[in-house]
Structure 1
Amino acid sequence: MVKKQISIIGVPMDLGQSRRGVDMGPSAIRYAGVVERLEKLNYEIHDMGDIEIGRPSKDEEVNDGNLKYLRAVSEASDKLALEVNRVIESKSFPLIFGGDHSIAIGTLAGISKHYKNLGVIWYDAHGDLNTSETSPSGNIHGMPLAVSLGIGHPALINIAGYSPKVRPENIVIIGARSLDEGERVLIREKGIKVYTMHEIDRLGMTKVMEEAVSYLKSKTDGVHLSLDLDGIDPSDAPGVGTPVLGGISYRESHLAMEILEESNIITSAEFVEVNPILDERNKTATVAVALMGSLFGEKLL
């Protein structure tokens, strides 16, 4: 049997947010045994190493209006988009490790051109739908989904030379529990499908995931999973920069990944915001690797 191929790309990016340490996320995930775990599932793993991230001076922190490290984030996004594009052209599954969630700008720029109707599952406590006008902080890791919709600074929305990367009707946000007012307005304007913690509590994770899969399966030709570890409750995943209480449990997250694996709709994935400086004995990276196990077919029996 020919082994399926997975290509790992690390993105040690910490410029999209304000808490240092998340640049060590890719190393923490590798240290937690991700390659060995996926190889046991009969995948051929190609670790492409890490994208080189420039280290701008403090003077470059605010490049344009309310956007921190705009130039550096834009340059890193271009590099990542090229690398992801090469992986897809080689017929391998792109698996990206962050780094903060701003890396999704480059990930989606490299992926979307290969699909007519790319779907996105955004597994996150936050909407990441801010712009320079609505962001309270100016941190670009709170903007990648808006950027991918074609909303934001030209240097970000035009990564890889085209925009938008995804349509609002092809997005499902799962686990939201911290949304800024500008994000709520955009969600209503664009009709983006969102399952907040209220829906997860009320309907149960099985129903939420089955609805999400059904919603995307009929109208997309590929689905990207963008999983922010802060989507999971901080009691299970403490090593994140923006923890929010009342999140998805470890077991519910495994169930979500198992349902996605059974659905056979996921064509690319990224796991972001693992910050070992804020973690407890690499617990959050270990959780990320365990969830990847379920996403790629690991079974108890």
Structure 2
Amino acid sequence: MQVRVVGVPMDLGADRRGVDMGPSAIRYAGLDEQLEATGHECTDAGDLTVPRPETTVANPTGGRHAKYLDETAAVCRELRSVVAQTVADGVFPLVLGGDHSIAIGTVGGAARQGSTGVVWFDAHGDFNTPATTPSGNVHGMSLAAILGMGEFADREWAHASAVDPANVALVGVRSLDEGERAALRDSDVSVFTMSDVDERGLPAVADEALAVAGGATGIHVSLDMDFLDPDEAPGVGTPVRGGVTYREAHAAMEAVADRLDDIRSMEVVEVNPVLDTHNRTAELAVELVASALGKQIL
């Protein structure tokens, strides 16, 4: 298939600088070569323009409860249009973050083409709202925004009405705030914690998560690199011990590859080269994307 790479050097949604360099780090780690090895045709559309924190003021309407909300909305609107057009062109969008707030735009664009299920590989739930967030960082609200939770219900740039919570699965979760824990329990989202992974094995969990998302006409895969244990992926902004291993992560992406005909879009986010060692996390991100897109040992 044809793959179009789009970079979104966003760090407005996080509380640590450096994640804006993630798209460059991933490209530098050999993304083109790995995608060519999958047999897909790849073009790079470059990066969207993202405001810098030094040149803007945290959104006064969101204040400390939703930092840089207007700026995030503007970037996500543009990304939504780019992704929607890419899918309409019959091309697969591969979006490189940046922090996880960009998923609001990626999923919104994919969902313009019909009902969309989501598999969210992440240590965190990203299910806070401005009313529940302890930090005000929008990257911790992105999934809640997509599903129109709380204050996001009436925000057209965020709420993707074509995404049914019953077709959303979180995988690898091991760190939840009290507010998002309660919200997830009350939702129809399927949550697979690291305890589930330990008990059942990641291939079985990934297969079930993909089946949940497969209830829609297309699937979006969101890969936050803190899904992995920090020993494997040190270059992330919010590391949490007890994550998946190198081999487990590849097994999860191989499960994605088995459903590739159903996958509509993908993103990889939260690579922070400032916190990394010898670009290890970006190199691993490239390997995992290649596995998801069908690269095989034999």
Match status 1:238 vs 2:234: yes
- In structure 2, the residue corresponding to 1:172 is in which secondary structure? strand
Equivalent position to 1:46, from 31, 43, 51:
43
How far does the alpha carbon of each residue in 1:64-109 deviate from its partner, in whole angstroms, 9 at most, with x for none? 2411011111111111111111211211000000000000011111
| C-alpha spacing 1:163/1:119, structure 2 compared with 1 (3 Å) | closer
Q: How does 1:1-301 map to 2 (within 5 A)?
A: 4-57=1-54, 60-63=57-60, 64-65=62-63, 66-115=65-114, 117-154=115-152, 157-159=155-157, 163-217=160-214, 219-264=215-260, 265-301=262-298
| C-alpha spacing 1:106/1:211, structure 2 compared with 1 (3 Å) | same
How far does the alpha carbon of each residue in 1:180-218 deviate from its partner, in whole angstroms, 9 at most, with x for none? 11111111111211110000001111211222233333x
- In structure 2, the residue corresponding to 1:88 is in which secondary structure? helix
One-letter code aligned to 2:282: A
Task: Give the conservation status (yes or no) of the 8 Å contact 2:220–2:266.
Answer: yes
Q: In structure 2, what is the Cα distance between the partners aligned to 1:191 and 1:180?
A: 18
Task: Give the conservation status (yes or no) of the 8 Å contact 1:56–1:72.
Answer: no
How far does the alpha carbon of each residue in 1:270-301 deviate from its partner, in whole angstroms, 9 at most, with x for none? 00000000000000000000001111111111
Q: In structure 2, what is the Cα distance between the partners aligned to 1:90 and 1:47?
A: 15
Structure 1 length-normalised TM = 0.94
One-letter code aligned to 1:236: E
| C-alpha spacing 1:214/1:110, structure 2 compared with 1 (3 Å) | closer
- In structure 1, the residue corresponding to 2:186 is in which secondary structure? helix
Q: In structure 2, what is the Cα distance between the partners aligned to 1:248 and 1:127?
A: 16
Bigger shift: residues 40-49 or 236-245: 40-49
Cα shift at 1:232 = 0.5
One-letter code aligned to 1:76: V
One-letter code aligned to 1:119: G
Q: In structure 2, what is the Cα distance between the partners aligned to 1:79 and 1:288?
A: 24
One-letter code aligned to 1:6: V
Task: Give the conservation status (yes or no) of the 8 Å contact 1:148–1:165.
Answer: no
One-letter code aligned to 1:88: V
Cα shift at 1:118 = 0.8
Task: Give the conservation status (yes or no) of the 8 Å contact 2:234–2:277.
Answer: yes
- Shift >3 Å, 4+ stretches: 56-59, 152-157
Bigger shift: residues 179-188 or 20-29: 179-188
- In structure 2, the residue corresponding to 1:190 is in which secondary structure? coil
Q: Where in structure 1 are there 5+ consecutive unaligned residues?
A: none
Cα shift at 1:151 = 1.7
Structure 2 length-normalised TM = 0.95
Task: Give the conservation status (yes or no) of the 8 Å contact 1:128–1:143.
Answer: yes
Cα shift at 1:263 = 2.4
One-letter code aligned to 2:24: S
CA RMSD of aligned residues (A): 1.6
Cα shift at 1:152 = 4.3
Q: In structure 1, what is the Cα distance between the partners aligned to 2:241 and 2:108?
A: 31
One-letter code aligned to 1:238: P
Task: Give the conservation status (yes or no) of the 8 Å contact 1:24–1:275.
Answer: yes
Task: Give the conservation status (yes or no) of the 8 Å contact 1:228–1:273.
Answer: yes
Q: In structure 2, what is the Cα distance between the partners aligned to 1:156 and 1:40?
A: 43
Cα shift at 1:62 = 4.0
Cα shift at 1:110 = 1.0
| C-alpha spacing 1:208/1:54, structure 2 compared with 1 (3 Å) | same
- In structure 2, the residue corresponding to 1:157 is in which secondary structure? coil
